[in-house]
Structure 1
């Protein structure tokens, strides 16, 4: 008789875990509080406009493809994506614009031509990023940091000899200032701290690993939109016999004699041989494991930033915009001080605009665009969000109008807003933080919860709030690392 596994939450890591467990012969049931799978990786339909609700950048597609191969299927028959020729369009208030071409030499030449930054500096930055990835990803991304063997294998021993070159002892901003001459390029490469909700003026330079994924490995777009990552894995899981229960909020993880034996949902006990928690780790301990000893040091770690998103249907096409667009703040340091020190929103925020209709025209009516308009904001600490949102919207519109020489407010046909409060309520993310704990110190990677419980047998953890971190690739890898502990 096959063993039974229960998964709490159908975020991307929960979905990946269900596939991996089914492939190992487990009987799998997934319990999800929402009426849909995917967690943050969901979609919104506003009239004739469709929006990917959450994560908008897709890297390391092989992590998705691997799930189909585990099931003996050809990924291309179920999930299609394309590589982007331009990773991002960047705009500054003084009229400067550059395109971050996927071709590194083309990008380097673009930077030299438009900003006067030597092309060699760009190549060196991306070479450094690749070096960090090659030496740290086997430790931090593909293995558990909570196992002694991780620190004693041959790869780890080689990395110890290169510690000084891996950015552990300086901040991301310090490393970028030492490399680039033009402050705009420092700002551009500092932006990668936001990929895991951190501050480039505090986070270690090891996070300069991130550009490697976008440039050296490539940025991609699923042909049916980011939501197809969710849908394709969900359909795969169902085809493997995984049972999904939606609108089913788990109330407690059942523990008997130091072992996880099931859950309580809708007042009913559901027994299992093991339990996997894909819910935010902090809220899981506070609500599902409140009778158990709390890992206070991990629970009390500072949280990452959150987001304020305006989903706008725009009645016009802007030819200068691509899939990913950044309109930079004039004072980046002040922006991050407001987010992480003042718990507020800077008056001149950096604006990110994701427009999937550029690649998928049916996401907006002809002659129109679907703008996912986002700024980084602090996590929810009880601020007056209604007031902050009102001020932020005014400042975003003003910035867009200045940079794009338009009157954007008159072009907004439909609107929906997502803020830290609704992020928390929809996804159970503690304080609405997008990536769990922040990475604003050199020890942050070691202060993430392991992919298993050290005190409760048969209880495992996956998702962006535990090791190795937030975002689609790391969440998928969290499921892979976790499965390695299940026999």
Structure 2
């Protein structure tokens, strides 16, 4: 009889883990507290408008395709996507705006024309980003940092000789100030710290690895929306024989003689040979692992930022807006000081607007747009969120009105809100933090939980709160790293 595996949670990493474990010969059962799969990667439908509820940027599609290929299927027959001609459209208060074209040379030329930043600076910055990726991705993205072999292989030894050039000893902001002459370009490249909920004025310059994914490899969009990543992998898992139980919150991971032997669900014990936890690591230890030894150093690490999202159905089409749009704050550093140190929302926030109806017209009624309108906010520390959200909404609308020269309020015909408290309640993310622990120091990569338990045999971890980190590609890689540890 084949071995049994239980996966706790059907976030994107849990789905990938279940698929990979099937190929390892396990019978796989997934227990999910929500009535739907996908975790943060879900969707909302309101009166003719459809919104991708969570992650909105799609990079490294090969990580999704690999799951179909190892299952003997042609990815194109199950999951379709396009490469974006424009990665993002950036706007500033002084009227300047720049399109980050997928064609690097076109982007560099536009920056030179619009902002006076030499095109060569953009090309060099993206070359440096590729250099960081080539040296660090084999080490930090594709292997466990908690296994000796990771540090003694050829790629690791090669990287040791380049440490000074990889940004480990500088901050993202300082590195970008050296790369660019125009503060707007520094701000544009500092923005990539938000991709894992960090502060560009504190996080290591190694995070300048991220632009490589978006520009040198490309930004993409699933033809059926981001939620199709969830749906296609869920369907694949079902076809392979994974058994899903929804509305089934795990109450405890069962441990006997320092071995994980199953889980307790709805007062019933379900036994297995291995247990994989896709739940946020911090909340897992506080709840389903509360009887076990607590990794206090990891649990007490500062958490990443969170998000405040307004899902707005807009009764107008704005042709100047693309799929991804950024309306920058006038004082970026002060904005991050508010988020990470004052634990408040800055009065002039950077506003991100994601509009999938630009590429998927049926996501909004004719002549309308679906605005996923988001700002970065602190994680939940018991602030007066009702008051802060009301004030932030006014400030967001005022900023949109100034930059787009419009009056957006009367155009909003539907609205829903997602904020740190509801992010935590719906996805079990500790404090509503989007990416688990923050990456605001050079040791942060080493202070993420491993993809296995060092104290409990047969217990494994995947997802954005453990190694290698948050975001769709890293969550998928966490499942891959985890599965490679299992015989």
* Residue in 2 that maps onto 1:231: 231
Which 5+ residue runs of structure 2 have no aligned equivalent?
none
User: What CA distance in whole angstroms lies between the structure 2 residues aligned with 1:69 and 1:169?
Assistant: 39
* Residue in 1 that maps onto 2:74: 74
Alpha-carbon deviations, 1:183-212, whole Å to 9, x = none?
A: 000000000000000000000000000000
SS of residue in 1 equivalent to 2:28: strand
* Residue in 1 that maps onto 2:318: 318
Alignment pair present for 1:406 and 2:400: no
User: What CA distance in whole angstroms lies between the structure 2 residues aligned with 1:235 and 1:145?
Assistant: 32
When the two chains are superposed, the root-mean-square deviation of aligned CA atoms in Å is: 0.3
User: What CA distance in whole angstroms lies between the structure 1 residues aligned with 2:275 and 2:468?
Assistant: 19
* Alignment map for 1:249-288 (pairs within 5 Å): 249-288=249-288
TM-superposed CA distance for 1:373, in Å, is 0.0
* Residue in 1 that maps onto 2:111: 111
| TM-score with structure 2 setting the length | 1.00
User: What CA distance in whole angstroms lies between the structure 1 residues aligned with 2:242 and 2:213?
Assistant: 31
Alpha-carbon deviations, 1:340-364, whole Å to 9, x = none?
A: 0000000000000000000000000
User: What CA distance in whole angstroms lies between the structure 2 residues aligned with 1:334 and 1:119?
Assistant: 28
* Residue in 1 that maps onto 2:389: 389
Alpha-carbon deviations, 1:242-270, whole Å to 9, x = none?
A: 00000000000000001000000000000
* Residue in 1 that maps onto 2:327: 327
Alpha-carbon deviations, 1:46-89, whole Å to 9, x = none?
A: 11000000000000000000001111111111000000000000
User: What CA distance in whole angstroms lies between the structure 2 residues aligned with 1:127 and 1:479?
Assistant: 29
Alpha-carbon deviations, 1:5-47, whole Å to 9, x = none?
A: 0000000000000000111221000000000000000000011
User: What CA distance in whole angstroms lies between the structure 2 residues aligned with 1:159 and 1:178?
Assistant: 22
SS of residue in 1 equivalent to 2:301: coil
User: What CA distance in whole angstroms lies between the structure 2 residues aligned with 1:70 and 1:35?
Assistant: 28
* Alignment map for 1:22-421 (pairs within 5 Å): 22-421=22-421
Number of equivalences:
487
User: What CA distance in whole angstroms lies between the structure 2 residues aligned with 1:295 and 1:374?
Assistant: 33
User: What CA distance in whole angstroms lies between the structure 1 residues aligned with 2:262 and 2:158?
Assistant: 42
User: What CA distance in whole angstroms lies between the structure 2 residues aligned with 1:174 and 1:406?
Assistant: 36
* Residue in 1 that maps onto 2:478: 478
| TM-score with structure 1 setting the length | 1.00
User: What CA distance in whole angstroms lies between the structure 2 residues aligned with 1:341 and 1:124?
Assistant: 33
SS of residue in 1 equivalent to 2:307: strand
User: What CA distance in whole angstroms lies between the structure 1 residues aligned with 2:238 and 2:207?
Assistant: 36
Alpha-carbon deviations, 1:300-327, whole Å to 9, x = none?
A: 0000000000000000000000000000
TM-superposed CA distance for 1:449, in Å, is 0.2
User: What CA distance in whole angstroms lies between the structure 2 residues aligned with 1:425 and 1:69?
Assistant: 35
User: What CA distance in whole angstroms lies between the structure 2 residues aligned with 1:357 and 1:262?
Assistant: 44
User: What CA distance in whole angstroms lies between the structure 2 residues aligned with 1:447 and 1:106?
Assistant: 39
Alpha-carbon deviations, 1:421-476, whole Å to 9, x = none?
A: 00000000000000000000000000000000001000000000000000000000
TM-superposed CA distance for 1:133, in Å, is 0.1
SS of residue in 2 equivalent to 1:288: coil
SS of residue in 1 equivalent to 2:87: strand
SS of residue in 2 equivalent to 1:156: helix
